[in-house]
Amino acid sequence: MLVRVLGAAAGGGFPQWNCSCRNCRKLREGTFAGHPRSQTQLAVSADGLAWFLINASPDLRFQIEAFPPLHPRSNSPRDSPIHGVVLTSAEVDASLGLLLLRESQPLIVYATEGVKRVLVEDNSFFGVLRRQADQARWRPVTPGEPFGLETIEGLPTGIHCMPVATDATYPGYVTPERSSSLPEAQASIGLFFEHQGNKLAFLPGSPTVDDEWIKQIETCDAILFDGTFWSDDELIRIQGTGRTARQMGHMPVGGPDGSLERFSGLEGPRKIFIHINNTNPMLDESSDEHRQVTAAGWELARDGMELEI
């Protein structure tokens, strides 16, 4: 299975439009020891012909143009090698890009019922995906129940997904009343992909790590894990207000309960942080935090990174 990282930043991207934290400021000045990143987005394919997007970032138009295998072939005026999208949540940075996949193109969308309801029932914008009958073909995903990715023609690709529920809640834009009407375990999922016996874990947002996941991850070839924040109070210190990393659904990388510590015994898979917030000090390749991460055997995902699983 081919895995292309089209974007590796958290919501807002790096740099973020209204941010002049040390990282964003130095990046714009051209003095930053590191790289810009667009918002987290994967594309996967079993054969290099039929592609599936994992999440749908707000930067998707530019991410598609930057990766020629996702361009339309020239044998039809309207066409795309993108057959479907798998959503892990209804967060704006994970789902807004669906609205960029308009223009009457048929598309399979794999999402939990909870995520679909938040998007489609609560946002009339999604009418742009109903311009043609059978344009967006929603397929319900249930945590714990594996499913196979199929082409728009209904052919199996050989890629299998196992969705797992995370402890993250519905996004901040969903009111508490609305959230309470939706299945709690469907708010946010992680994905274990399998193709021809090879495995990839994609867990871009999770405040906790289940012991059962650790066992699953040990059998994977690679893991792309939540690298949003270094510390639990990172945004509060910069903004002066707000929620902790864990309250926002993210396990911090550093600290005694962080992911470096939690995964310290992990031997098998290639370990890669993704969904990295613009404020995270580990983005700076001259920082102590970056040294800690690499010393622990982790890599940072970057736009354009490719894995073959």
Q: State the residues that interact with its own copies by CB under 8 A.
A: 12-13, 15-21, 24-25, 28, 58-62, 64-65, 68, 70-80, 82, 92, 96, 99-105, 118, 122-128, 130-131, 172-175, 178, 238-239, 242
Residue number, 75 or 196, with CB nearest to its own copies: 75
Per-residue b or e along 178-207, where b marks 16 or more CB atoms closer than 10 Å to that residue's CB: eeeebeebbbbbbbbbbbeeebbbbbbbbb
CB of 282 to its own copies, least distance (A): 18
CB of 182 to its own copies, least distance (A): 12
Q: What count of other Cβ atoms lies within 10 Å of the Cβ of residue 268?
A: 13
Residue number, 238 or 305, with CB nearest to its own copies: 238
Distances in Å between the Cα of 76 and the Cα atoms of 79, 108, 169, 222 are: 6, 20, 42, 37
CB of 123 to its own copies, least distance (A): 5
Residue number, 243 or 270, with CB nearest to its own copies: 243
CA distance 245 to 204: 13
CA torsion angle 105 48 214 190 (round to 10): 0
Three-state SS for 58?
coil
Residue number, 22 or 291, with CB nearest to its own copies: 22
Distances in Å between the Cα of 199 and the Cα atoms of 202, 203, 206, 231 are: 10, 13, 19, 29
CB of 254 to its own copies, least distance (A): 20
> Is residue 72 within 8 Å of 95, Cβ to Cβ?
no
CB of 61 to its own copies, least distance (A): 6
CB of 98 to its own copies, least distance (A): 11
Task: Give me the residue label for tokens 């798998």.
Answer: 86
Q: Which two tokens stand for residue 143?
A: 């945590």
Residue number, 98 or 201, with CB nearest to its own copies: 98
> Is residue 115 within 8 Å of 87, Cβ to Cβ?
yes
CB of 265 to its own copies, least distance (A): 36
Residue number, 73 or 215, with CB nearest to its own copies: 73
Residue number, 15 or 204, with CB nearest to its own copies: 15
> Is residue 45 within 8 Å of 84, Cβ to Cβ?
no
